[in-house]
Amino acid sequence: MLKCGNRGFISDHCLPIEYLENISLKIRGTIALLTGHGPLRAHLEKFMQISNSRCRNCDLEIETEEHVLCECAALWRIRLKCFGHRLKTIEQVAEATLGNVTSFARSILFRNGILIVPTNVGTANKK
């Protein structure tokens, strides 16, 4: 590992480890959104971490990756800003650039670099 001063760097380009960790967090958020294995309520409800799987943005449908990426009316402005057009199908998401998808994921899953999770995680009534 290349060292530059007191900070750790991992390449000849002197990228700080903190920078790469930040990129890793963004990529994990993007993958979580695309696969539905992140803090989406439909996924959290499967593991009894929450009791309500309705979308935290519109409260009309189940919060799945397809709903968030293509259907949620409350997120249409963010989709337009990140993708440049309306997405109607998950196939259109697959055709988008990784940068567009990452920008969208960051806009809805992160606030100040912290992954958003529902406030009622862990409060589901367990039988």
pLDDT band at 15 (very low <50, low <70, confident <90, very high): low
Bridge partners of 16, per DSSP, are 9
CA angle 97, 43, 60 (to 5 degrees): 85
Q: Which residue range forms the structural domain that includes residue 34?
A: 15-115
Q: Is residue 100 part of a domain?
A: yes
CA distance 55 to 120: 13
Q: Is residue 8 part of a domain?
A: no
Q: Is residue 6 part of a domain?
A: no
pLDDT number for residue 67: 93
Q: Is residue 123 part of a domain?
A: no
Furthest-apart CA pair in the chain: how many Å?
55
Q: Is residue 1 part of a domain?
A: no
- DSSP one-letter code for 60: S
Q: Is residue 51 part of a domain?
A: yes
Distances (CA, A) of 40 to 1, 24, 52, 63, 86: 37, 19, 11, 6, 21
Q: Is residue 75 part of a domain?
A: yes
Q: Is residue 25 part of a domain?
A: yes
pTM over 0.95: no
pLDDT band at 37 (very low <50, low <70, confident <90, very high): confident
pLDDT band at 73 (very low <50, low <70, confident <90, very high): very high
Cβ contact 53:44 at 8 Å: yes
Q: Tally the domains of the chain.
A: 1
